[in-house]
Amino acid sequence: MSQVHTIGPDFSGSRLFKFIAFLYGMASYLVFFVTILYAIGFVMGLVVPKTIDTGTNTSTIEAVAINLLLMSLFAVQHSVMARKGFKAWWTQYVPKPIERSTYVLASSACLLLLFWQWRPIPAVVWLVDDPDLAVAVAVLSLVGWGLVFISTFLINHFELFGLSQVVNHLVDKQAAPPRFRTPLLYKFVRHPLYLGFIIAVWAAPVMTVGHLLFSAVITAYILVGIWLEERDLVEMFGDQYREYKQRVSMLIPWRKSW
């Protein structure tokens, strides 16, 4: 292992490694992009071969157990790998320029596994009978997905998904230090990206028990994720972020901050 630590830093600075890291980052981003497009189809029941309400039929107990296990796997991976302490340990073995790309790739793999092995629970919780209203609800879901994408670009889409890191490494450019910004939507809610996800998964013309389970767990995970993320943001930006928390609502626009 000591040899890895000795050789690693020199190799990571080589032109060959920089080019390989760039290709790796691009490939990871493409996998993510395909995964998020599939996620939209999976949740909304559009185009993709397997959706949240199709697949292998099992007993309700077995379906709940398998689905919770799949979602827990994603939640643990997504949360643990994003923590500062894990990154400090992880980057002893994974070069820093590809750390974010590796995180994105691992998240995509967990989601693809979830889509593949998800068990439907088809009992209907609610059904929107009116065709026009059903279309409106589906459009609202698409608005939620749009809000997710817009929010990533308002902060730094390419840094969020690892591309900026590998490009900067390739051209020997130092990344700018993090600075606190509240562009556009972030002036109304602190987490428009998460708000978009919540809208996207709950706005369903047909809500089955399986879809309800998915939406409820995603919402619970988002709330826990916000708590963890804001703890890190307070540590990073201090009073600047504390003041922002007092002034701007977490998820609901124009609501008193909470």
Q: Is the pLDDT of residue 251 over 90?
A: yes
Predicted local confidence at residue 3, as pLDDT: 37
* CA neighbor of 103 nearest in space, from 86, 115, 118: 86
* Cα of 84 vs its chain's centroid, Å: 17
Three-state DSSP at 127 gives strand
For residue range 72-104, what is the model confidence (pLDDT) as tens digits? 999 999 889 988 889 889 989 999 999 999 999
What confidence category does residue 176 fall into, taking pLDDT thresholds of 50, 70 and 90? confident
With 0-12 / 13-18 / 19 or more C-beta atoms within 10 angstroms meaning exposed / middle / buried, residue 71 is: buried
Domains: count for the chain: 1
In a domain, 254, yes or no: no
In a domain, 128, yes or no: yes
Predicted local confidence at residue 174, as pLDDT: 87
What token pair was written down for 65? 């157990």
For residue range 131-166, what is the model confidence (pLDDT) as tens digits? 999 999 999 999 999 999 999 999 889 999 999 999
In a domain, 253, yes or no: no
What is the CB neighbour count within 10 angstroms for residue 183?
Answer: 11
Predicted local confidence at residue 11, as pLDDT: 54
For residue range 180-196, what is the model confidence (pLDDT) as tens digits? 889 999 999 999 999 99
Q: Which domain holds residue 96?
A: 2-247
Predicted TM-score (pTM) of the model is 0.90
CA–CA separation, 38 vs 44, rounded Å? 10
In a domain, 257, yes or no: no
In a domain, 35, yes or no: yes
In a domain, 243, yes or no: yes
As a whole number, mean pLDDT of residues 232-258 equals 87
In a domain, 240, yes or no: yes
For residue range 6-51, what is the model confidence (pLDDT) as tens digits? 334 445 568 899 999 999 999 999 999 999 999 999 999 999 999 9
Mean of the per-residue pLDDT values of the chain: 91
With 0-12 / 13-18 / 19 or more C-beta atoms within 10 angstroms meaning exposed / middle / buried, residue 82 is: middle
Q: Which residues of 128-145 are buried (b: 16+ CB within 10 A; e: fewer)?
A: beeeeeeeebbeebeebb
CA–CA separation, 130 vs 141, rounded Å? 17
In a domain, 214, yes or no: yes
